A and B are shown apart, each in its own frame.
Chain A
Amino acid sequence: MEKRLTMLLVGLFLLVGGAFSQTKVSGTVVSQDDMQPVIGASVLVVGTTTGTVTNAQGKFTLTVPEGKKTLRISYVGMETLEVSARPNMKIVLTSDQAALDEVIVVAYGTAKKSAFTGAATQLDESVIGRRQVSSALDALSGAASGVQVTQYTGQPGSDPTIRVRGIGSLSASSNPLYVVDGVPYDGKITSINPADIESMSVLKDASASAIYGARGANGVVIITTKTAKRGQEAKVTFDARWGSNSRGVPNYDVLSNAGDYYEKYYRALYNERFYSAAGGDVAAAHAYANSNLYSNLGAKVYTVPAGETLIGTNFKLNPNATLGYKEGNYYYTPDDWYDEMYNTGNLRQEYNATVSGSNERMTYYMSLGMLDEKGIINSSNYRRYTGRLSADYQAKEWLKVGANMGYAFEKQGSPTSQNAWGSSGNSFYVADNIAPIYPLYVRNADGSNKIDDMGLTVMDTGTNTPWKRKFSAGNPLIDLSLNSYNLERSSINSKAYALIDLPLEGLRFNTNVNANVYDIRENNLYNPYYGASSSSGGSVNVNHYRRIGINSQFLLTYQHSFGDHNVDVLAGHENYHMKYQQLETAKQKLYLGDAAELDNAISYPSAPTSNTVDYATLGWLFRAQYNYQEKYFASVSYRRDASSRFADGHKWGNFGSFGAAWLISKEAFMESTQSWLNELKLKASIGSQGNDALMYDGELNYYPAEDRYKVSDVNGTPVPVFDSYKGNRDITWETSISTNLGIEFSLFKNRLSGSIEYYNRTTKDMLYYRPVAVSMGYDSYPVNEGSMYNRGVEIQLNGVVYKDQNISVELNANLTTLKNKITSYPTVMKGSMLIREEGGSIYESYLRSYAGVWHGDASEYSFNDKFDKSTLTLGDALYYCDPDEGDYNVTNVYTDAKQAHQGSTAPKAYGGFGLNATAYGFDLSMQFAYQLGGKLYDHKYQGLMSSNGGTGHNWSTDIADAWSPENPYSNVPRIDTGVNDSQDDSDRFLISSNYLSLNNVTLGYTLPKNLVQKMGIASLRVYVAGDNLALWSKRKGLDPRRSLTMGVTTLGGGYSDTYAALKTISGGISVTF
């Protein structure tokens, strides 16, 4: 009830009644809890529209029309009371703070949690506002059961990926539907200032979301922005925070000393020669290693006395070697690339101001926000300005109109290639993987950094000194320093609505028209001085993207109580049209080295491109909700939807749901348990939802039914060339059938509350690209085939551990289990890392089984009769031949071993837990997330453990354990530059994906009221907050939060070199006037 006490405002009239003034009544409303006045409680004369709200002292006066005498007093969080009107009343409201009676935002409206038959989790502003994240979706991590949040890139201004109750589709998008203020939203979530968000609801089952039919199959995330409360006087808030971003997940443990690396590489060269078919000759092997050491690596950074070698025949660094080497006009010494890239300051600042209030006919909420943050690498940044105005106006007694407009201007510097596998422009790839022998800077013979004519510090591109680096051409630090990446997105999310009370009481017509528009201008400049574009004189890309989505809803609602029977019916129509356009251009040869415009360049390397896609859906919807005595609840919904994605005759789909709930604790027979059992509800639901969001090449496919051709320039003639996409005119909706069974409870005077739910989501007629023989001339075409389920249990618990006048400690925890199984699949699809087949799961890993290392002892392993053991070399990696067929003979020939089932990589359970505590004005909150029982493929570690070191690619410190005559029983294969195993994928690199992360810690102090009120301030809070503070995973550097899937080595998957997650620490101040 703290919130109620902070409202010092005089209430305002809800509605102005007719002119028949008769009896004047007055009274005071207090709370039973503490006998304090309840401010802003609404007092209504039953059967009329006459009413008022209580003032700062909890008092009200009201004139009751003739013939009426019952007053209804209500307040959020209190039980509604009906009393007879009389003068000087004292009305005591009892608290109704059971969790079950929270009001939550659901499809097309709100519902009391106790009356809700579906499954939903809601996060409120207090949770969202705490997080220092550019996308509000990040706040869901660990905080909502059934929701998995993965963040592929740490680039500021990026939205994470959300999966609700598992991955539900194969080739169609598994993204949930986002609904902002009641309307489907296709923009970026970062375009909505998290500070403007009142709540975020995740609807997880069919009963909750089937009404969204078409696009709700993968769950629905409803974002509701803030509005003013009716009866609220003007309130002004200001919040500011300043802090910094840093790299949240460190690199793997890698060799950091140049000498160590040379020793290892030398050993690998020696081994290549010594263990080759031409081998066995120690002297020749040393000679080979010596003659190739520098030329292979392209770096010489040690000075060795004349006639001596850098590495001795004992494989140790020559003690006479000194770091630093001078040759000609240059001096070479290694740099710490990691430190050079990531140790710069990274300011983050955020300001938010709001004004909200109301008068008798109107409420308004206005906000301005500014976020400015720097990424952890140069040129990576994000700045967002947001403005929002939301207002409603009671134009007539029967007509309420309103609008909600949000504008965001986002400016993002997002350097290209930072997530690209093996790209020389990817600073994370380079800094994390480069051997510790390479200089970052070009140095003059005297050791000073070389400065060019323009005053720029010259960096080593790998080719601009006589020593040509063999790892990664170019230099990402040059790119990040001299290139510019500037994406500017303007987005408008506007909604206008009208609510009309129709003549029949309880019947309302509601129309919402919404426009989501965004407009992106992207100017990228690649500098003409150094790096990749220098040979073309620099280049510039100017791209433009525009998306316009118009959504219209026409809804009729009817709410009425017939005695104990309460009915709530919704019927309506909704349609949506989206147009997306893109224009991309590029030019080369710049005049100015820093002007990212086409007019600054003269040559056209490639022709500009543009295209437009259109997408439309329309649907009819119906929902009826019924309850008897607020004890038995039932809900039924139906939706018929059409999508432009499908061909005629396949456009329409029918979806619907049924749900029921039983509030057992309200039954008479439960009276005896009331002392400890405050609420107990059983619920069940079943329903179907659709998905039309077929993807292609990582993007949404809006025309999946049709073959695709591309107009190409063939020797000067425009020619349609088949673009390898085969359509299928028969495809239609993918359907997901969800069942949900749940118990919700509240115990011990609401000290412990929670829910347990079982879910089973079956997807059938799956939209997926059926692979065909590649020799058909294309590789797949879309079909509706196959089915799978995702099922599990979700548990959510909230406990008040301690509570008194001054101190409260609350804990919350949630856990979700997940099991995925493909129940029907027309073929067996074997990939390089996974297998899809009936009876398996979509997370089924399929890799060769690593057996260990050949130690020279034939009794250690079993071999095929045919296997020629003379081909074995000590320290060879061995693989089992065909474990799926029970063949556990081993071979040292990687391609002779067959891939084998290695089990599902999906985590068996995931969730989070947190703490909220207050004491004497201090508040502390912590939020953790975890994942258990899954596996992932550690692509990056594989690269760092490659036998040949990939010429200049660093090694993990674990390589110290590689097989050698001195370490003859190792299970890490021999390092050997002749063994190219960097892409020899095997279960050796499958690792547990368990993690625990500390997502947020916030510590605040609210100054005593009597102190701040003297300054004219209603409240003042100072705080420090840290986001993404710690991650505990199986291996240092490994971040299992990047992806849910395996990936492939050559594309890096989620566990390779992508922009590292950010850690943010800030201090801030919040003021309310």
Chain B
Amino acid sequence: MKYNKSYILGILAAGLLTTSCSDLDTTPTGQLTGAQFAESLEKDPSLLASSVSAINYAIAKEYCVFGASQGRADDFGWPSFCLSEGCNSADITGIVSGYNWFSTASTYDDRNINYANPYERWAMFYNQIKACNDLLDQIDPNTDNKKLKQYMGVAKAVRAWDYLILVQSYAKTYVGHENDKAVPLYLSKNDEGASELTTARQTVERVYAQIEKDLAIAATALEGFERADKTFANQAVVFGLQARVALIKNQWADAATYAQKAIDAAAEEGIVPATIAEVSKAGAMFCQLSETNWMWGMSFSASNIPTDGEYETWVSQISSLASYSYTTETGSYRAINSHLWNSIPATDVRKGWWVDENMNSPLLKGLTWSNSGETTAVGKACGNLIDFIPYTNIKFGCNAGEIGTTHTCGDFPFMRVEEMYLIKAEAEAQQGLTGEATTTLESFVKVYRDPSYSVASAPVSNLVDEIWRQRRIELWGEGFAMSDIMRLKKPVVRYLGLTDEVTNFPEAWRFNIPAEDDILLGIIPQDEINGNEYITDDDQNPTRSTPGMGEYPDLRDGVTDNF
């Protein structure tokens, strides 16, 4: 053979040299791995601040639980919880339609262990709890570093908020059910008692104890915390949460005290109830973190909408004012219970938060939207936009007031200062301090909502029920409907008997549910049972058949009875 062997070996060697082992260590760009994240924190500890922001975003993002690959239209975090529980209650109604993603809540078909809706309502809070615990794992609880202490305070406040929602969704209310099974508790490794916990359902008592403990720590840690924006919890928020806890536990005096502390702390930050003028701006209200009355909320702006994700946002499902939405394009508007709406005096600015039976609201006067080359009054068919239905809400705006927006974004509140006035009033009323309660209630409603208001001439004579009525109107769609029903041990009343001509619930959804009925309890998703060795099928909440049309026609709730 006429060639040189070394030549061949040269090729061979060259080939093999091109394959060093370092080729096997690949790292993505664009997607961040845990290792990259940890390394970035090590290089620059100040980046821990991002982890605090991450906590807030965990429950605000689109495709919150199931991810973009499933692209579910009901998976937008906290507002989807609010809409679901509102549809469970007697406060929010709508249309029967294949495009109504929340009709499973209206019919109670969401009590199905394999459905997505109950999975979301369970998982979103635990996802946020994990974010809190991941941050708490990195902070020595005894740290003197002021910043770290504040981060800890924020994480504990958020975690307490999560557990407070969970415990109210999966167990009956605190009073009388202290030893019932509630939800699993996950704590940071730095938390006292963390190692003794299993992933079993802890008792109601245990969960509340943890919430109260965390809030106490957070209240101290957040002393003097100047937050970057209202997506972060601060001390006023913690007081507000403490007020909520006390109210649920029927610790009325504490509830009133904490509510006042929250009002005072919020005021220091310039947070006061919104004026009548401020809550008369259809499209621009209840969608901006900067609103003067918001104590705490989530931020969701146009840049948070993924490509082609405009339809899967809360604005698309709740606000009636975007042109690119499930509401305006399929008619799945969210309307208020007509009986409840009827109870609102005409002098109350809030009556205009929903259109009347003729689809008019004073707040819509002069407003137009345009679509596909047409311009018409808001609420009327325009291009492919569908007419409002009676009692459609225009409470929630979108994209900072851009009516007819195609950018279906908007912020959403977790806590508003108005709620604190109502907590205080209720706590006083429950103690029998009728005078104080009247003053508290009137000083809010009269000044900020209805100049003609007085408790004496209020639509509902029972003071506690009247305050509940105020809550149902003021906080409509903000996630309080079911928790109020549970803690007040009230029935769900959607219609007033078989001959009710007033109710705007579609006939299929026309049923009432007795107080503390098992169907009111959330259902633990099958996947939790599959993966949790301490929760078996036997640990599931009791269920019953979904309510049928025409059930319990004679129940009344004390609020809507006469409207």
Q: Which residues of A contact B (CB under 8 A)?
A: 272-273, 276-279, 288, 292, 296, 396-399, 422, 461, 463-464, 468, 470-474, 498, 500-503, 509, 511, 529-532, 534-537, 541, 552, 554, 573, 575, 577, 584-586, 588, 603, 605-607, 609-618, 642-644, 648, 651, 697-699, 702-703, 706-715, 717-724, 727, 770-780, 827-832, 871, 892-896, 950-953, 977-978, 980, 1050-1051
Contacts and interface: CB of A to CB of B under 8 A. Distances in A.
B67 interface: yes
A362 B480 CA distance: 82
Interface string B383-426: 11110000000000000000010110000000000000000000
18 contacts: A278-B498, A471-B98, A535-B384, A552-B15, A552-B18, A588-B406, A606-B305, A610-B30, A618-B19, A706-B34, A707-B33, A709-B37, A710-B31, A722-B134, A771-B527, A774-B531, A774-B532, A777-B127
Contact of A277 (B57, B525, B549): B549
Interface string B298-339: 010111111111100000000000011000011100000000
B126 interface: yes
Nearest to A582: B30
Given A501-B1, A722-B130, A605 B406 contact: yes
A277 B112 contact: no
Nearest to B404: A535
**Which of A463, A537, A648 gathers the greatest number of chain B CB atoms within 10 Å?**
A463
Contacts of A830: 526, 529-530
Contact of B131 (A605, A722, A773): A722
B13 to A, nearest CB: 10
B58 interface: yes
Given A541-B308, A828-B530, A422 B98 contact: yes
Contacts of A714: 50, 53-54, 56-57, 231, 299
B31 A697 contact: no
Contact of B186 (A611, A617, A776, A893): A776
Contacts of A617: 24
Contacts of A712: 54, 57, 61, 304
Contacts of B529: 830
B105 interface: no
B220 interface: no
Contacts of B407: 605
Given A554-B16, A771-B527, A715 B24 contact: no
A1017 B61 CA distance: 68
Contact of B123 (A500, A530, A613, A779): A779
B443 interface: no
Nearest to B311: A532
Contacts of A698: 69
Contacts of B229: 715
A23 to B, nearest CB: 26
A288 B549 CA distance: 13
A777 B28 contact: no
B28 A774 contact: no
Contact of A895 (B15, B508, B546): B546
Contacts of A980: 107, 109, 508
A1051 B299 CA distance: 30
Given A511-B11, A554-B15, A775-B126, A276 B550 contact: yes
Contacts of B122: 774-775
A709 B1 contact: no
Given A398-B3, A774-B525, A721 B383 contact: no
A644 B25 contact: yes
Given A541-B308, A722-B131, A830-B530, A774 B126 contact: yes
A534 B384 CA distance: 8
Contact of A777 (B54, B119, B186, B549): B186
A703 B28 contact: yes
Contact of A721 (B21, B61, B184): B61
B372 A534 contact: yes
B183 interface: yes
A575 B19 contact: yes
B19 A552 contact: yes
B303 A713 contact: yes
Nearest to A588: B406
Nearest to A717: B53
A472 B130 CA distance: 39
B28 A702 contact: yes
Interface in B513-563: 525-532, 535, 543-546, 548-551, 553
Contact of A978 (B5, B228, B548): B548
Contacts of B36: 709
B501 interface: no
Contacts of B67: 697, 723-724
B2 interface: yes
**Which of A552, A724, A950 gathers the greatest number of chain B CB atoms within 10 Å?**
A724
A468 B332 CA distance: 13
B469 to A, nearest CB: 27
Given A473-B99, A502-B8, A773 B184 contact: yes
A709 B34 contact: yes
B54 A278 contact: no
A-B pairs, top 4 by smallest CB distance, nearest first, are: A777-B130, A611-B30, A707-B34, A277-B550
Contacts of B186: 775-777
B199 interface: yes
A490 B199 CA distance: 52
A397 to B, nearest CB: 7
Contacts of B23: 575, 577, 616, 618, 644
Given A773-B531, A777-B127, 20 more contacts: A276-B549, A277-B548, A398-B1, A468-B386, A470-B98, A473-B329, A500-B11, A502-B5, A509-B8, A535-B383, A541-B308, A606-B308, A613-B28, A614-B27, A708-B32, A715-B301, A717-B50, A719-B54, A722-B58, A775-B184
A449 to B, nearest CB: 19
Contacts of A531: 384
Contacts of B456: none
B308 A642 contact: no
A724 B535 CA distance: 22
A57 B98 CA distance: 76
B149 interface: no
B530 A614 contact: no
A334 to B, nearest CB: 19
Contacts of B532: 772-775
Given A278-B498, A702-B28, A893-B545, A724 B18 contact: no
Contacts of A950: 98
A470 B307 contact: no
Contacts of A552: 15, 18-19
A535 B372 contact: yes
B217 interface: no
Contact of B384 (A397, A461, A509): A461
**Which of B5, B34, B134 gathers the greatest number of chain A CB atoms within 10 Å?**
B34
B110 to A, nearest CB: 11
Nearest to A532: B329
Contacts of A397: 1-2
Contacts of A727: 33-34
B97 interface: yes
A945 B406 CA distance: 37
B15 A779 contact: no
Contacts of B463: none
Contacts of B70: 1051
A280 B301 CA distance: 53
A607 B65 CA distance: 21
B54 A470 contact: no
A707 B32 CA distance: 8
